[in-house]
Amino acid sequence: MLRTSILLVTLLCNAFAAQAESNPDSLLLRSIYDEALTNGESYENLRTLTKDIGHRLSGSQSAADAMQWGSAVMRGYGADSVWIMPVMVPSWTRGSIARSTAYIGQKQVPLRVTALGGSVGTPNDQSIRGKVIMVKDVNALDTLRASAIAGRIVLFNRAMDPVLINTGAAYGGAVDQRGNGASAAAKAGAIGALVRSMTHALDTLPHTGALRYKDEINRIPAAAISTVDATTLSHALENHPDLEVSLQMNCAAFDDVLQGNVIGQWTGTEKPNEIITIGGHLDSWDIGEGAHDDGAGVVHTLEALRILKAIGYQPKRTLRFVLFINEENGNRGGKEYARKAAIENEESDLVHVGAMESDAGGFVPRGFRIDATDSATAIVRSWEGLFDPYNIHLFRRGGAGVDISPLKTLNPRPTMLGLSPDGQRYFDFHHSSQDVFENVHKRELELGAATFAAALVMLDQHLPSPQP
């Protein structure tokens, strides 16, 4: 019986796959992949973005330069109109100093650290020093006596779980230490926090990322520490529980700055009032070059426009290619885009029917995270046979991306897809000095761009229009 049902499923799937290969969608996808793999410009665009412009922290001059560059590329690729949607973004600088030393018995061991994004500097930019309390859980601080924490530096040292196949899930299971650790430590009386870098790799790179201070709690300085150094400290604490660590940082926050989302629009031929948004985020952290995060998403987005123009595609709906600002430390670009979209939905005949994001790296594409209604999810999953020849198999429900996530509150709810590249290497580079152009693979980047463009076309062709 079981065997029979297996065979039935297999036969049906095969029949469906065979049917898929000869339909117009199948031919369209083939032309998209062919264009990306033979005339692709994503790799050279990424080189320009990372090497000529460099990293692009919100509020920085290089972020402003990237906005100009992105606008120019969209115009060059033939967008009908290109504009900047103004967004006030935070301004924070890492400063020139991030020093930390462990004093272990007679030894002084330098620790590789960097400020978490948004951290205050150490008082008067001078060094602080204290004993260390190590915890593996932010909540563990609640169970400790105040005297065990007061005046100390808290080391948050829970590793990402290696048995989770999807590294994003392992990241999600550990990143509360980075986001909430500093405030939890401060509440318990600590003077500083070190957070184990969010990576499976045992490396000597600190991996930065945003923290969030709670309003009512004293702000203490917090730094990412490399996994190798966190492990060293952990071992040293076994024999030297009273070892001390110093920390000195001169990072600082300034007044907000006016920047914005870069938007290129290509007006639809049949349903121009229906909008599908596709994008990645232009800002990046200020160490490394933001090549995978999210230079890849930026050039995927630009390449989707280029490919569809090159193959002579005529969109039914209006396509908006968006380079969002400030994903890393505030998501103000994504929020502002959704706020304006809600107004468009309400005050005009425009309606946002779909959105796609690429913000998980430039690795070989595996599929999509689907954030949509049940019926829209079924439509997207019906494309599995079409994408199989391109080794695209993940059609799982999940968050589609930080930038577009605020759009999910719109009514009607847009169908949202997040590009899912393979994630095994992503956190090797993420938010570190190694997130550079050299660590992006040309063919993998091109395949990602093609997959992104292909899904855009499928949404354009097959999303049902909202019922009036």
Binding residues for a copy of itself, rule: CB under 8 A, are 3, 5-10, 12-13, 16, 33-34, 37-38, 162-163, 165-167, 200-201, 364, 366, 378, 381-382, 389-391, 393-394, 422, 424-425, 428, 441-444, 447
- Give the Cα separation of 190 and 320 in Å (integer): 47
- Minimum Å distance from CB 351 to a copy of itself? 23
User: Angle 128-189-245 (CA atoms, 0-180°, nearest 5)?
Assistant: 30
Q: Which 3 state secondary structure label does DSSP give 220?
A: coil
- The answer to whether 220 and 181 have CB atoms below 8 angstroms apart is no
Closest to a copy of itself by CB, 345 vs 451, is 451
How many C-alpha atoms does 217 have within 13 Å on its Cβ side?
A: 19
- Minimum Å distance from CB 60 to a copy of itself? 32
Q: Which 3 state secondary structure label does DSSP give 373?
A: coil
- Minimum Å distance from CB 365 to a copy of itself? 10
Closest to a copy of itself by CB, 57 vs 417, is 417
- Give the Cα separation of 103 and 100 in Å (integer): 10
- The answer to whether 105 and 118 have CB atoms below 8 angstroms apart is no
DSSP 156-222: E-PPPPTT-SSHHHHHHTTTHHHHHHHHHHHHTT-SEEEEE-S-SS--S-----B----TTS----E
Closest to a copy of itself by CB, 187 vs 441, is 441
Closest to a copy of itself by CB, 216 vs 374, is 374
Q: Which of 94, 235, 96, 213 is nearest to 155 (CA)?
A: 235
- Minimum Å distance from CB 182 to a copy of itself? 29
Percent helix, percent strand, percent coil in the chain, to nearest 5: 40, 25, 35
- Minimum Å distance from CB 330 to a copy of itself? 31
- Minimum Å distance from CB 367 to a copy of itself? 9
- Minimum Å distance from CB 55 to a copy of itself? 25
User: Taking the mean position of all CA atoms in its chain, how far away is CA 143?
Assistant: 34
Closest to a copy of itself by CB, 146 vs 163, is 163
Cis ω for the linkage preceding 412 (within 30 of 0): yes
Closest to a copy of itself by CB, 131 vs 397, is 397
- Minimum Å distance from CB 247 to a copy of itself? 30
Closest to a copy of itself by CB, 51 vs 443, is 443
- Minimum Å distance from CB 287 to a copy of itself? 22
Amino acid at 373: T
- Minimum Å distance from CB 280 to a copy of itself? 21
User: Taking the mean position of all CA atoms in its chain, how far away is CA 426?
Assistant: 10
Closest to a copy of itself by CB, 2 vs 146, is 2
Per-residue CA distances from 315 to 39, 221, 268, 311 (Å): 21, 50, 5, 12
* 124 burial via Cβ count (<10 Å: 0-12, 13-18, 19+): exposed
Closest to a copy of itself by CB, 389 vs 399, is 389
Q: Which 3 state secondary structure label does DSSP give 37?
A: helix
- Minimum Å distance from CB 371 to a copy of itself? 18
Q: Which two tokens stand for residue 287?
A: 């160490």
Q: Which of 128, 135, 133, 134 is nearest to 100 (CA)?
A: 128
- The answer to whether 438 and 293 have CB atoms below 8 angstroms apart is no
Helices (H) and strands (E) in the chain, counts: 13, 16
Q: Which of 327, 341, 347, 320 is nearest to 409 (CA)?
A: 341
Closest to a copy of itself by CB, 293 vs 422, is 422
Closest to a copy of itself by CB, 188 vs 201, is 201
